[in-house]
A and B are shown apart, each in its own frame.
Chain A
Amino acid sequence: MLLTIDGLAVEVEAGTTVKEAAQKAGVEIPGLCDHPLLHPHGGCRLCLVEVEGMRGYPSSCTLPASEGMAVKTNTPALVELRRTVLEMLLSEHPCICINCDRQGECDQVRASLRKVPRTIGCRYCPADGRCQLQHTVELVGLKRTELLPVGLDRDLIRSPFFDRDPNLCILCGRCVRVCQDRGPAAITFASRGFEAGIETAFGRPLEESGCTFCGACVDVCPTAALTERSGRHGGRAQETVVTVCPYCSANCSLTLEVAGGRVLRAAPAEDDLCVLGRFGSQFVHHPDRLKRPLLRKNGRLVETGWEEALAAVCRNLESRRGMEFALIISGVCSNEALFLARRLAREVMGGRAYAPDLPAPSAIPWSAGFQGPVLVLGDPGSTNPRLEARLLEMGTRVTAVTPARTRLARAARCWLSPRPGEEATVLEALTRALQDGQGAGSQTSSGQAWRVAEACGVMESQFRSALPLLQGACLVAGPDCPPELVQAAERLARAAGGELVAAGQNCNSLGAAALGLEPWDWSAPSPEIRSAYLAGCNQAAGHPEAAEKLSGLDFLVVQDLFLTETAALADVVLPAASFAEIQGTVLSPEGLLPVRRAVAPRGQSRPDWQIFARLGQMMRSSGFEFESGEQVTGALREELDEKWQCWAGRRGSGAAGGMENSAALSLRASSQPTRDGRSGSPEGGGLTLECGPSIYGFGGGTRASRVPDLKYLHDHLSLQVHPLDARALGLCTGDGAILQSSEGWLEVRVRTTRNVNRGTVCLPGNRRWNPAPDAADGADARQGDHDDHLPGWRAVASGCRVRLTPLSEDGR
Chain B
Amino acid sequence: MKKATDREGLEEIRRLSEVEWRGLFTGERPLICVGMSTCGISAHAQETWDALAGELDRLGTEARMMRVGCLGLCYAEPLACIKLPGRPLICYGRATPEAAPGLVQDVVGRGNIVQDSVLGSIALQEAPSSVDQPHSDDAIPSIWDHPMMKPQIRIALRNCGLVDPEDIGHYLARGGYRGLEKALALSSPGVIQEVKASGLRGRGGAGFPTGVKWEFCRNAPGEEKYLICNADEGGPGAFMDRAILEGDPHSVIEGMLIAAYAIGATRGFIYCRAEYPLALKRLETALAQAREAGVLGGDILGSGFDLDISVKEGAGAFVCGEETALMASIEGQRGMPRTRPPFPANSGLWGQPTNINNVETLANLPEILVRGGSWYSAFGMGRSRGTKTLSLAGVVNRTGLIEVPMGMTLNQIIFDIGGGIVGDRACKGVLTGGPSGGCIPGTRLDVPVDYESLSQMGSIVGSGSMIVIGEDTCIVDLARFFLSFVQKESCGKCTPCRIGTRQMLAILERIAGGEAELEDLDRLERLAVAVKDASLCGLGATAPNPVLTTLRYFRQEFEDHIQDRRCPSLHCSRLTSYSIDSQRCKGCGACAESCPAGAIIGQKKSPHRIDQALCLRCGSCLSACPDRFKAISQSAGQDQPATPAQEKGAL
Question: Given the complex, which residues of A lie within 8 Å of B317, measured CB to CB?
Answer: 192
Cross-chain contact B536 with A146 (CB below 8 angstroms) = no
Q: In the complex, which of the residues B319, B336, B493, B503 contacts A150, with contact meaning CB atoms closer than 8 Å?
A: B503
Asked whether A191 and B530 contact (CB < 8 A) given A45-B536, A150-B503, the answer is: no
- Asked if A42 and B500 sit within 8 Å, CB to CB, the answer is no
In the complex the two chains form, is A44's CB within 8 Å of B495's CB?
yes
Distance, CA A99 to CA B138, complexed state (A): 79
Q: Which of A301-329 contact B (CB under 8 A)?
A: none
Is B60 engaged at the interface, CB distance under 8 Å to the other chain? no
Given known A-B contacts A45-B535, A57-B533, A191 and B503 have beta carbons under 8 A apart = no
In this complex, how many residues of chain B approach chain A with their Cβ under 8 Å: the count is 31
Partner of A42, one of B334, B338, B523, B533: B338
List residues of chain A with CB within 8 A of the CB of B523.
146-147
Binary B-proximity of A165-187 (CB < 8 A = 1, otherwise 0): 00000110100000000000000
Is B487 in contact with A194, judged by CB distance below 8 angstroms?
yes
Q: Is B23 an interface residue (CB 8 A)?
A: no
B457 in the interface (beta carbon within 8 A): no
CB-contacts of A48-73 with B (<8 A): 48, 56-59, 62-64
Judged by a CB distance under 8 angstroms, whether B583 is at the interface is no
Does chain A have a CB within 8 A of B273? no
Kindly identify which residue among A45, A56, A197 contacts B495, using a CB–CB cutoff of 8 Å.
Answer: A45
Q: Is B603 an interface residue (CB 8 A)?
A: no
Q: Is the CB of B339 within 8 A of A59?
A: yes
A43-B536, A63-B341, A150-B502 as given contacts; A193 in contact with B336, CB under 8 Å? no
The residue in chain B whose Cβ has the minimal distance to the Cβ of A32 is B495
Contacts of A173 in B (CB 8 A): 493
Residues of chain B contacted by A42 (CB below 8 angstroms): 338-339, 493-494, 536
Main secondary structure of the interface of B (DSSP, over half): helix
Structural contact, B536 and A192, CB atoms closer than 8 A = no
For window 487-502 of chain B, which residues contact chain A by CB distance below 8 Å? 487-496, 498-500, 502
Q: What per-residue 1/0 map shows which CB atoms of B479-521 lie under 8 Å from chain A? A: 0000000011111111110111011001000000000000000
Note all chain A residues with C-beta closer than 8 A to B490.
192-194, 196
Expressed in whole angstroms, the Cα–Cα distance for A80 and B522 within the complex equals 14
A546 located at the interface, meaning its Cβ lies under 8 Å from any Cβ of chain B in the complex:
no
Distance in Å from the Cβ of A167 to the closest Cβ of chain B?
A: 14
Report Cα–Cα, A40/B502, bound state, in Å. Answer: 25
A40: nearest chain-B partner, CB-CB: B339
Contact of A193 among B339, B487, B535 (CB under 8 A): B487
Q: B15 on the interface (CB 8 Å rule)?
A: no
Q: Does B527 sit within 8 A of A, measured CB to CB?
A: yes
Which residues from B are CB-within-8-Å of A56?
Answer: 533
Q: Which of A87-95, A287-295, A479-487 contacts B (4 or more CB under 8 A)?
A: A87-95
Q: Report whether A196 and B339 are in contact in the complex, using a CB–CB cutoff of 8 Å.
A: no
B334/A188 in contact, CB under 8 A:
yes
Q: Is the CB of B499 within 8 A of A84?
A: no
The closest CB in chain B to the CB of A90 belongs to: B499
Of listed B487, B498, B500, B506, residue having the most chain A CB within 10 A:
B498
A43 touches B495 (CB 8 A): yes
Chain B hits for A188, CB < 8 A: 334
Determine the chain A residues whose CB is within 8 A of the CB of B503 once the complex forms: 88, 91, 147-148, 150
List residues of chain B with CB within 8 A of the CB of A171: 492-493, 495, 498
Say which residue of A44, A62, A191 sits within 8 Å of B492 (CB atoms).
A191
Q: Which residues of B contact A77 (CB under 8 A)?
A: 533
Contact B533 A193 (CB under 8 A): no
Given known contacts A59-B536, A194-B499, A85 and B493 CB-to-CB distance under 8 angstroms: no
Contact of A45 with B502 in the complex, beta carbons under 8 Å: no
A192-B534 contact in complex given A42-B339, A146-B523, C-beta closer than 8 Å: no
Contact A84:B526 (CB < 8 A) given known A150-B506, A192-B319:
yes
Within 8 A of A (CB), among B531-563: 533-536
Least CB distance from A201 to B in Å reads 11
A189 touches B526 (CB 8 A): no
CB neighbours of B341 from chain A (8 A): 63-64
The reply to whether B530 and A192 contact each other, CB–CB distance below 8 Å, is no
The answer to whether B495 touches A58 (Cβ under 8 A) is: no
> Which residues of B in the span 292-338 have a Cβ within 8 Å of any Cβ on A?
317, 319, 334, 336, 338
Query: Does A800 reach chain B (CB closer than 8 Å)?
Result: no
Q: Which residue of B lies closest to A198 (CB)?
A: B492
Q: Are B494 and A150 interface neighbours, CB within 8 A?
A: no
Closest Cβ–Cβ distance, residue A213 to chain B (whole Å): 23
A347 to chain B, nearest CB (A): 64
B492 touches A193 (CB 8 A): yes
- Given the interface pairs A146-B523, A150-B502, the reply to whether A45 lies near B489 with Cβ below 8 Å is no
Q: Is the CB of B530 within 8 A of A84?
A: yes
> Which of B338, B339, B506, B530 meets A85, CB within 8 Å?
B530
Contact, CB under 8 Å: B502 / A57: no
A192 cross-chain contacts in B, Cβ below 8 A: 317, 319, 488-492
Q: Is the CB of A81 within 8 A of B530?
A: yes
Residues of B within 8 A of A85 (CB): 495-496, 500, 530, 534
Q: Which residues of B contact A189 (CB under 8 A)?
A: 334, 336, 491-493
- B residues within 8 A CB of A45? 494-496, 534-536
A196 to B506 alpha-carbon distance, docked (Å):
17
Alpha-carbon gap, A769 to B651, bound state (A): 92
Shortest Cβ distance from A45 into B: residue:
B534
In the complex, which residues of chain A have a beta carbon less than 8 angstroms from the beta carbon of B336?
A: 189
List of A residues within 8 angstroms of B530 by Cβ: 80-81, 84-85, 88
A150 touching B499 by the CB < 8 A rule?
Answer: yes
CA distance A806 to B251 in the complex (A): 61
Contacts of B319 in A (CB 8 A): 192
**Which of B489, B490, B492, B496 is packed against the most chain A CB atoms within 10 Å?**
B492
Closest to A148 in B: B506
Distance between B517 CB and nearest chain A CB, rounded to angstroms: 12
Contacts of B527 in A (CB 8 A): 84, 88
The winner among B319, B487, B498, B534 for most chain A CB atoms within 10 A is B534
* A196 pairs with B536, CB closer than 8 A: no
- Complex Cα distance, B526 from A77, in Å, reads 12
Determine how close the nearest CB of chain A comes to the CB of B7; give it in whole angstroms: 42
**Interchain CB contact under 8 A, B500 and A88:** yes
Q: Can you list 17 A-B contacts (CB < 8 A)?
A: A57-B534, A62-B339, A63-B339, A85-B530, A88-B496, A91-B499, A92-B502, A150-B499, A150-B502, A150-B506, A171-B492, A171-B498, A188-B334, A192-B319, A193-B487, A193-B502, A194-B499
Q: Given contacts A192-B317, A192-B319, A193-B502, could you give 5 more A-B pairs where the C-beta distance is less than 8 Å?
A: A88-B499, A150-B503, A150-B506, A192-B488, A193-B489
- Which residues of A are at the interface with B, using a C-beta cutoff of 8 A? 40-46, 48, 56-59, 62-64, 77, 80-81, 84-85, 88-89, 91-92, 146-148, 150, 170-171, 173, 188-189, 191-194, 196-197
The 10 closest A-B pairs by CB, nearest first: A196-B492, A84-B530, A62-B339, A42-B339, A88-B499, A193-B488, A45-B534, A43-B493, A194-B502, A43-B494
